[in-house]
Amino acid sequence: MKNALISVSDKRGIEVFAKRLEQMGIKIFSTGGTAKILTEAGVPVTQVATYTGFPEMMDGRVKTLHPKVHGGLLGVRSNEKHMNSMVEHGIVPFDLVVVNLYPFRETIAKPGVTREQAVEQIDIGGPAMVRSAAKNHESVTVIVDPTDYNRVTDSLERTGATSIQLREELAAKAYFHTAGYDLAITSYLSGGKYAGFSGERIATCKYGENAWQAPAHLYSTGTPDPLALDKFAVIEGAPPSYNNWCDIDRLLQTATHISEGYAINEDVGTAIAIGVKHGNPCGAAAGPDRAEVVKKMMAGDPLAIFGGLVMTNFEVDEALCRTLSGKMLDGIIAPAFTEGAIALLRRKGDKCRFVVNPALNGLVGKLDRTPRFRFVRGGFLMQPNYTFVPDFGRGEIVKHGKATPAQERDMVLAWAIGSTSNSNTITLVKNEQLIGNGVGQQDRVGAANLAITRARRSGHDLSGAAAYSDSFFPFPDGPQTLIEAGVTAIFTSSGSVKDQATIDLCAKHGVALYMVPDQAGRGFFGH
């Protein structure tokens, strides 16, 4: 390897990388800001403009779009005519190309950015160089990601070259890089008429939802979101299954809504523990005492939690692990685990996975605001994510009767669980403990009866419980069912022609009824 062309927007680690190349006797060509940084770092650089004899112009729009650049990228080394043309025209063969693109996605994410500012961040020369180098990967190594620097330099220092397998892998990654970039530009310029997504495979599951659906894979879109699934690490146990990944995603949706709801309505740090089975919470609790929160979560629905996943927003120690190990769990997800907890799992020989992500420590302000996609036959649906959070101190929520502070906390917890469960849903909470979750029903009375049945099956006393309904009650029969079971506070939406009948019923029985307009806060999820 003799010649490298380096021109990057993301300049992480570029000085160290270039110095290693220079020490191996590789000549470096560069442009603009990259050349300036490398020169200041003491790395000898040949300006591309000096090499081509053609100056950068038009505010940097034109600098690498030149035959002496692309000839050096595209020339086939085994083709005699190509090589003769390169010699004839003084074209340097580039063996290594290091390019990443103008920060278009970062620019359009900034508040108040103008269309002119966005358009100026559409890279032309960068994608052209990347695609040229990737096409000629038989001879050229292309890097678009700083995390690949060491892989390349280690290979060069060890063997003096890069393998065809590595060049092919990096070429594919380069096309993935430009494809995602073009997709972002397309979506922006079309105002969303054209949309899509792409991802990098980061995990393979033994099978999908069923054993015969094999294999299954987890892909990452490359988001910097600290709660993205690619940021979770298994520190003990088998890799998560397809269903495990689905449940972790649902746990995050529920946990962030609980945290946000508590923060808005009482502004205190709250310990949270949630159990999920087949995509729906079957245990949840919140409060100041971590040990008590874990006990209450596990006792919410002891039958349903068997084989489920548990997530906490606090470190799990050996004592908490003993409580959690009372039931067979598929996994525990937490910001951290103590050595004692890990050692206990090893001693017991459980199949339970320990999955860690430090970002779970602070969930306030971390609602997922990215659009939600759902594949349908022949295409996909896209909608904004569910990000509503009720604020009981605002006029948006109409209060019929006054709930106690304890009841309001229960309603917040019930809302967060119910609005992130498969609709239709009625959720019952008492003393900051989920006691019954009636999910996925076709009618609201059926959801209420299911929640009540599950609560009673687990031995819970419903007297004084709070209920959440993910949409309005079309008739007062749903609230009647809940009141007869012992519910004393209900949070729901309004919008039914029978709203007044529900209001009158709750007033008659002294039940606090909080209502948010259906168009503002309906909690349908998971259709």
The predicted-structure confidence for 226-269, as pLDDT tens digits, reads as follows 999 999 999 988 899 999 999 999 999 999 999 999 999 876 66
Q: Which stretch of 113-117, 346-350, 519-523 has the lowest confidence by average pLDDT?
A: 346-350
Q: Which two tokens stand for residue 91?
A: 């074209």
**Annotated catalytic residue: which of 19, 231, 278, 400?**
278
pLDDT at 101 over 90: no
Structure confidence at residue 61 as a pLDDT band (50, 70, 90): low
Which residues make Cβ contacts (< 8 Å) with residue 244, sequence separation at least 6?
Answer: 309, 330, 331, 353
Dihedral angle sign, alpha carbons of residues 397, 405, 315, 280? negative
**Residue 200 to residue 197: CA distance in whole angstroms:** 11
**Residue 24 to residue 53: CA distance in whole angstroms:** 27
DSSP string, 315-331: -B-HHHHHHHTTS--SE
Task: Render pLDDT for 460-485 as a digit per residue (tens, 0 to 9).
Answer: 999 999 999 999 999 999 999 999 99
pLDDT at 65 over 80: no
- Please answer whether residues 465 and 486 qualify as being in contact, where contact means their C-beta atoms are separated by less than 8 angstroms: yes
pLDDT at 335 over 70: yes
CATH label, 233-361, candidates 3.30.70.660, 3.30.70.260, 3.40.140.20, 1.10.357.10: 3.40.140.20
The three-class DSSP label of residue 293 is helix
pLDDT at 167 over 90: yes
**Residue 266 to residue 142: CA distance in whole angstroms:** 53
- Please answer whether residues 335 and 359 qualify as being in contact, where contact means their C-beta atoms are separated by less than 8 angstroms: yes
Residue labelled with tokens 């339970």: 352
Q: Which stretch of 47-61, 128-142, 436-450 has the lowest confidence by average pLDDT?
A: 47-61
CA-to-CA dists, residue 334 to 235, 306, 450, angstroms: 11, 18, 30
pLDDT at 359 over 90: yes
φ/ψ (deg, to 5) at 23: -65, -25
pLDDT at 218: 96
pLDDT at 349: 64
CATH class of 3-189: alpha beta
**Annotated catalytic residue: which of 135, 295, 366, 509?**
135
Structure confidence at residue 63 as a pLDDT band (50, 70, 90): low
Q: Which two tokens stand for residue 81?
A: 């005519």
Residue type, position 497, single letter: V
Residue type, position 512, single letter: A
- Please answer whether residues 287 and 293 qualify as being in contact, where contact means their C-beta atoms are separated by less than 8 angstroms: yes
pLDDT at 520 over 70: yes
pLDDT at 60 over 70: no
Beta carbons within 10 angstroms of residue 114's beta carbon: 9
**Residue 156 to residue 126: CA distance in whole angstroms:** 24
pLDDT at 86 over 70: yes
Domain range annotation of the chain: 3-189, 233-361, 390-521
pLDDT at 171 over 80: yes
DSSP string, 57-121: BTTTTBSS-SHHHHHHHH--TT-HHHHHHHHHTTPPPPSEEEE----HHHHHTSTT--HHHHHHT
Q: Which stretch of 229-243, 342-356, 491-505 has the lowest confidence by average pLDDT?
A: 342-356
390-521 carries CATH number 1.10.357.10? no
Structure confidence at residue 57 as a pLDDT band (50, 70, 90): low
Mean pLDDT of 148-157: 94
Mean pLDDT of 184-196: 89
pLDDT at 178 over 80: yes
In percent, how much of the chain has pLDDT > 90? 72
Residue labelled with tokens 């006990």: 295
Structure confidence at residue 123 as a pLDDT band (50, 70, 90): confident
Structure confidence at residue 350 as a pLDDT band (50, 70, 90): low
Mean pLDDT of 70-98: 89
pLDDT at 449 over 90: yes
Residue 278 among the catalytic residues: yes
Beta carbons within 10 angstroms of residue 330's beta carbon: 21
Give the relative orientation of helices 80-88 and 67-74 as an angle to the nearest 10 degrees: 150
Residue 81 among the catalytic residues: no
Q: Which two tokens stand for residue 271?
A: 């310990």
pLDDT at 273: 97
- Please answer whether residues 414 and 466 qualify as being in contact, where contact means their C-beta atoms are separated by less than 8 angstroms: yes
pLDDT at 498: 96
pLDDT at 64 over 80: no
Do the domains 233-361 and 3-189 match in fold? no
Average pLDDT across the chain, whole number: 92
pLDDT at 487 over 80: yes
Q: Which stretch of 13-17, 121-125, 210-214, 354-358 has the lowest confidence by average pLDDT?
A: 121-125
Structure confidence at residue 272 as a pLDDT band (50, 70, 90): very high
**Residue 330 to residue 65: CA distance in whole angstroms:** 55
Give the strands of the sheet with 141-143, arranged side by side: 46-47, 27-30, 3-7, 96-99, 141-143
- Between residues 243 and 348, the one the model is more confident about: 243
pLDDT at 41 over 80: yes
